[in-house]
Chain A
Amino acid sequence: MSINFSAFEIGRRALNANQAGISITGQNIANVNTPGYSRQRVQLVESAPMHFNGYSVGNGVTIAGVQDFRDNFIESRLQTETGIAGRLNARRDALAPVEATLQGSENGGLQNSLNNFFAAFRDLEANPNSVALRASVAQKGAGIANAFQTTRGRLGEIQLGTDGQIRAKLEQANSLSEKIADLNLKIQTSEATGGIASGLRDQRGEYAKQISEITGARATQNSDGTLTVTIGEGRPLVSGEKAFRLTVTNTPPLGLSSIAIDGQPAVFDEGSIRGLQEALAETSKQIGTLDGLAASVVSRVNILHTSGTDLDGNAGIKFFDDSTTPVTAANIKINAAITANPRLVVASPLNQPGQTGTVAGAIANLLTDQTSTVNSQTGSFSSIFSSMISLAGEQVRTADDALQTQSAIISQLSAQRESVSGVSLDEEAINLMQYQKAYEAAARFMKIADEMTQTILSLAQ
């Protein structure tokens, strides 16, 4: 009879395998709350049997590898939907201040100043010889100019702030690109030498999701283990171990950012940068409309004001100073001569045949006169401004509604991902018990094998 040393080998392998199982289970438990973590499981296979005297004898268990549970299709979809959510979120958050600025407060804001200015002319119409009411008109004229300038200034600040956010996001994207490129190299190196790079892959997946949220980038798995990350028009941000930087130049006249990659203009299909760019374009449009509104107010008021005579019978001068061209919401101002001498405010009868009424009344009616033109829009000053506020609100509302839908999609996808890759403590508890019992059994087997060997050895004494 021979001493069965293979039993020790079987025992040793069993102890190793179950110890690995316990370690992997511990790893899963430790990372139960780690974002982007994919649960792992040790893969055990029966060792190749020994052939002994014409029959096969099992040789224990071998660790074949560590399997991680990851569904690349779900990961890819999650990245895509995260990119869309990034765009909507950024767009909504950047446009909300525009809405607030245009809407103004209950008793302040441009809407109120418009109403007050034209109301002052209405009051003057009923008392056309009042110097006090003329002074009030001049004061309200200064008020409306100030309101235009303040609103324009705030929109300008929002514009610059949004542009600043784009630049900050670019830096984040560049940093993430470098990290992904670095991880590509590490994963490739590790897996080429037979190592396990599950943790590195998880980390890289998390970075890919973050860069997707910022740039709407798509990530493609390559057979060599690397990840290629591309933005709009297929331009790569990361290819293998190389990261391509997004660069920014300042575009005149305001110095707003213009983004390029590898010397070509960068195009973003989704992501927060795209959302911010859209918000910037919308803000610029609103500024354009505001400038047009200011110019139209100045033009129409001046035409009427110069058609009549002032309190002293002199020909009416321009109410607003339009010496700086083009007139915009930033430079609108009342004629300094009127501020100095309110008697110059015109409230004389209309100088047109067959028309009763006064210049003051005609100016007051401009607020609701539907024939005003601002850029390509025709309507009254009041309705055009209301439509600016409504448009701003619509843009925020649309983004918000779409974001709610998107959040539901992402929640569903996250739940699906968790279902595949997430850690269940119940499962890990069962695995732990399983491996623990198996380890104990293997240890007992080792003890019995040892006792048997001792018995045989004692026979020889």
Chain B
Amino acid sequence: MIYRVTDSKTNLTASIASQRSRIDVLQERLTTGKRINRASDDPNGAEAVLNLRTSQRQIEQFQRSAQTVNTKLTTADNSLESYQISLDRTRSAISQGLNGTTTQEAKNALATELESLRDRMLNIANSKSGDEYVFGGTRQNVPPFDPTTRVPATAPTASQFVQIEPGSNAIASGIAADKIFSDASSDIFADLTAAAAALRGTGNAATDRATLINANARLVVYNDAATNARLIVGTNMKTSESALENLTGNFLSLDEQAANIEGADFAGTALEFADAQSSFEATLQVAASGRRSLFDYLG
């Protein structure tokens, strides 16, 4: 305890400075809504928040990737649906051509229709989404099939894989053309070209009939391949949709965690601020009024 009080104002000055500093801190919290505005406010908390925010940024990246993958797969699925519709119509045309009552004139018309359907399927096979061939896979420098000769590209290709969630395996963002429009023995375009020629007549009715029967059988194979491809695409679409839901949930959870650590308690801070201001004003009043000494009472 100090037994002798003097006229020194040193401690008053220090007290005013300290209170002012406290008010500044509380004012900053109210303005920013954050308890942690710099690392020194709470170093451990700041590090935790930085890591949470980095995870959130990563989730945003994966959300974009998942959305892109979902869009590509949707485009692929729509294209495959159109392709299967065309395959159905093709089978119908070939069946008509195999019917003994169909006239040559009618067969010529069916041949023209087959060629039109073939060209439509070629467009589907070579379709693009943005800069990418939907069914190009990893081979993107040439179309899957030559647009003029309809010959398949020779360079090897495989599905593109994209990671859409942190820590997960990458999923295929599409399916390559060689799994749908062709196989080891032939491709749909060569088979349809042969079928159109058979419908017009090559001069050997038996050979023409065998060609059409073979084409019909091949259409079943191509349809199965398309169904299989749609299954894969559909599964991956569900995966990407599920990933998007998870990512959104995780993002919100991380946001809540970060807010709990760095967020300021408004009500509490406002009360503290009011208290600090009152104390400060009281201190200033004391400083302004000054301490009277005996000299003030002597004449």
Residues of A within 8 A of B (CB): 32-33, 96, 99-100, 102-103, 111, 115, 118-119, 122-123, 125-131, 312-313, 348-349, 356-358, 361, 364-365, 367-368, 382-383, 386-387, 389-394, 396-397, 400, 407, 411, 414-416, 418-420, 422-426, 429-430, 433
Contacts and interface: CB of A to CB of B under 8 A. Distances in A.
22 contacts: A32-B7, A102-B39, A115-B54, A119-B61, A122-B61, A122-B62, A123-B64, A125-B65, A126-B162, A127-B131, A128-B160, A349-B138, A358-B170, A368-B166, A389-B46, A389-B50, A393-B39, A393-B43, A397-B42, A415-B11, A419-B6, A423-B6
B298 interface: yes
B238 interface: no
Given A129-B132, A386-B51, A419-B2, A358 B10 contact: no
A433 B299 CA distance: 11
A382 B68 contact: no
- Sort A-B residue pairs by CB-CB distance and give the 6 closest, nearest first: A393-B39, A422-B6, A390-B47, A429-B294, A425-B293, A396-B40
B157 to A, nearest CB: 11
Contacts of A118: 61
B294 A129 contact: no
A393 B46 contact: yes
A420 B69 CA distance: 81
B10 A414 contact: yes
B8 interface: yes
Contact of B6 (A119, A313, A348, A424): A424
Nearest to A361: B163
B168 to A, nearest CB: 10
Nearest to A389: B39
A129 B143 CA distance: 13
A387 B43 CA distance: 9
A425 B298 CA distance: 12
Interface of B: 2-11, 14, 18, 38-44, 46-47, 50-51, 54-55, 57-58, 60-62, 64-65, 68-69, 130-132, 138, 140-141, 158, 160-163, 166, 169-170, 173, 293-295, 298
B40 A99 contact: yes
A386 B43 CA distance: 10
Contacts of A400: 40
A358 B65 contact: no
Residue among A123, A390, A418 facing the most chain B CB atoms (10 A cut-off): A390
Given A118-B61, A423-B7, 17 more contacts: A115-B57, A356-B161, A356-B170, A357-B170, A358-B160, A361-B170, A383-B51, A390-B44, A392-B40, A393-B40, A394-B39, A397-B41, A414-B8, A422-B8, A424-B6, A429-B294, A433-B298
A227 B286 CA distance: 40
A356 B69 CA distance: 15
Nearest to A357: B170
A389 B51 CA distance: 11
A418 B8 contact: yes
A358 B40 contact: no
B13 to A, nearest CB: 10
A342 to B, nearest CB: 14
Contacts of A387: 47
Contacts of B298: 429, 433
Given A125-B65, A356-B170, A349 B43 contact: no
A137 B39 CA distance: 30
Contacts of B50: 111, 382, 386, 389-390
Given A389-B47, A423-B6, A349 B161 contact: yes
Nearest to B55: A368
A357 B161 contact: yes
A387 B162 CA distance: 30
A358 B162 CA distance: 7
A125 B293 CA distance: 80
Contacts of A419: 2-6
B7 A422 contact: yes
A121 to B, nearest CB: 9
Contacts of B5: 419, 424
Given A119-B61, A127-B68, A425-B294, A103 B4 contact: no
A407 B10 CA distance: 12
A396 B38 CA distance: 10
Nearest to B170: A357
A411 B11 contact: yes
A318 to B, nearest CB: 23
A426 B8 contact: no
A414 to B, nearest CB: 6
A224 B11 CA distance: 35
Residue among A313, A361, A430 facing the most chain B CB atoms (10 A cut-off): A361
A122 B67 CA distance: 13
Contacts of A386: 47, 50-51, 54
A311 to B, nearest CB: 8
A136 B243 CA distance: 25
Nearest to A114: B54
A323 to B, nearest CB: 31
Nearest to A426: B294
A424 B2 CA distance: 13
Contacts of B131: 127, 129-131
B61 A356 contact: no
Contacts of B43: 390-391, 393-394, 397
A426 B46 contact: no
A425 B295 contact: yes
Given A99-B39, A127-B132, A425-B293, A364 B61 contact: yes
A429 B68 contact: no
Residue among B2, B41, B43, B173 facing the most chain A CB atoms (10 A cut-off): B43
